[in-house]
Structure 1
């Protein structure tokens, strides 16, 4: 009997030591991640939460607000020529609640409409007059929620590869986030999420960017490392689970015909995360307010096709994109970034 007991004690001790080492590794890695990708802006208090945001350009110019997607952060827009846009506009990038350097309390809603409410309050708190709201991926769904629930706060919305309809299958790159238990989620975040995320970040990013290549500096310049912190895992998991559990998209689908602001949509034909037909063309068919443009590329057009995205965005902001009444979808060839347009974000730092 002594041998099995001794074996059990050794196994328990080994597991305990392993967990302690994982916790210590996670804490150390988190510090290094935050050194590699520090804050870019400042915080503003919104109903007890602190939203991290950065501004470019003259505050007297027409405002443009950018909202990123799942597992993202404001640096996801760093490859766009934001300084060029800021010559004529007041440009604001914000970390969604719980993402990047923004906070989200344990009791705060993670569902799409709750985040839309927060972004609307953010717009009002900054006293932004009729901004253009730009949303990428999940940020696109949140922008749509703002347009439906707070139409008075925005002039129009511009959506890049947006989530617009109920999707029963979780994209492969995000399946590890589908953890419904808050207790299990916290345990994974403090032990396994960071080391596992660092080890698998390359194939995961390839799935998100496919069929295009992942820039070598995306982990720092694009802010991808921040999602590997424990808080990044917890809040991204909450976001993903809330998309299905809250049922916001199903309700929003029924209201798209009631949209009162113009909606410009840009999609990559090769997007394997969100189908342009399921989420772009389906939205276009539901509302005469929606204009859709499809170009060659994948899900991360602001990173992989910054010139194409910028040209579309300038036209969308000006309201000069293709008229919806024509009901045609243009297909553009991929255009490399114009080297003369300088990204607004800080230069790349050494990755972990």
Structure 2
């Protein structure tokens, strides 16, 4: 067999492999979206189309902001119905996450996303909500409060990102893709099959040492993370975080509103000592509480504790 023939065969195999990966990714995304179609409402905010849920009727409003690679169903799984008994509860898919879209070439750091959240509050006419931010949603909630202190009345931060990270958690290293084109290429080829193959490992780190809820894939929105858009969005968000955090930290001293933090003592994603204790050292009025033996996904694993801290912040904010 000649060298030309071998080269042609290899090139053909490579093309067929890529076509197969794209086909598999597209089929998987369609199946996921059939299993978990959007069930909330949509609204246009600053070039983004935001998917959100609005539950309950009460004088005090809560706005729930999910974390990296997440979606609104992380809250609707166990937290929203409990809170909607006493509050109006609005939970959004952040720009690019879940069924929300992000404007082309839009900035994705916590500061930019905070501007979308602030605009979302204004467009919906929410009356100074308590922001409930989980993980990356915590940093975004802090950024809203720093830039728009009159828009919010308190912060309930659940396993939040609050300070610059020395490095990204190991489980997120695959998301560290700087080029938007390469990010999209990975999302539409190997990201989905790899996420399926590594699902158990990923979930063990993200939820551990607690068990993953048996219904997380459907009721908790876990399947939505298997779509190419989820990889692209999570990678975009993660790569944008480091540039924003130092300037955000410099403005923390201006925060006067009630802030409470809840952390699991065995969080495998974010260090409670850094993002809890060291953050409180900057703002002594912050109330910090722990769930012994718990991991990172507190809204799904210990919803009662999350509800309790949200109620506590709302009571102080009154």
Q: Normalised by the shorter chain, which TM-score bucket?
A: over 0.9
How far is the alpha carbon of 1:300 from its aligned partner? 0.7
Name the structure 2 match of 1:290.
Answer: 286
How far is the alpha carbon of 1:81 from its aligned partner? 4.1
C-alpha separation in 1, matches of 2:267 and 2:146: 26
Name the structure 2 match of 1:39.
Answer: 38
Name the structure 2 match of 1:9.
Answer: 8
String of CA shifts for 1:106-156, please: whole Å, max 9, x gaps.
Answer: 311101100001001000111011110100000000000001001111001
C-alpha separation in 2, matches of 1:164 and 1:132: 17
1:306 has 2:303 as partner:
yes
Give the TM-score, by structure 1 length.
0.87
C-alpha separation in 2, matches of 1:308 and 1:263: 16
Please, which of 278, 283, 293 is the counterpart of residue 274 of structure 2? 278
Give the TM-score, by structure 2 length.
0.96
Name the structure 2 match of 1:187.
Answer: 185
Matches within 5 A, 1:18-167: 18-58=17-57, 60-167=58-165
Q: Secondary structure at the match of 2:142?
A: helix
C-alpha separation in 1, matches of 2:247 and 2:172: 23
How far is the alpha carbon of 1:288 from its aligned partner? 3.2
| Maintained 8 Å contact 1:164/1:283 | yes
C-alpha separation in 2, matches of 1:99 and 1:74: 9
- Uncovered stretches (5+) of structure 1, i.e. residues with no partner: 321-352
Q: Secondary structure at the match of 2:311?
A: helix
Q: Which moves more between the two structures, 60-69 or 306-315?
A: 306-315
Q: Secondary structure at the match of 1:28?
A: helix
Name the structure 2 match of 1:240.
Answer: 238
Q: Secondary structure at the match of 2:62?
A: strand
Q: Secondary structure at the match of 1:151?
A: coil
C-alpha separation in 1, matches of 2:27 and 2:180: 23
Instruction: State the Cα RMSD in Å.
Output: 1.3
Aligned residues: 316
- Uncovered stretches (5+) of structure 2, i.e. residues with no partner: none
Task: List, as ranges, runs of 4+ consecutive aligned residues in structure 1 with deviation greater than 3 Å.
Answer: none
C-alpha separation in 2, matches of 1:224 and 1:238: 19
Name the structure 1 match of 2:221.
Answer: 223
Name the structure 2 match of 1:264.
Answer: 260
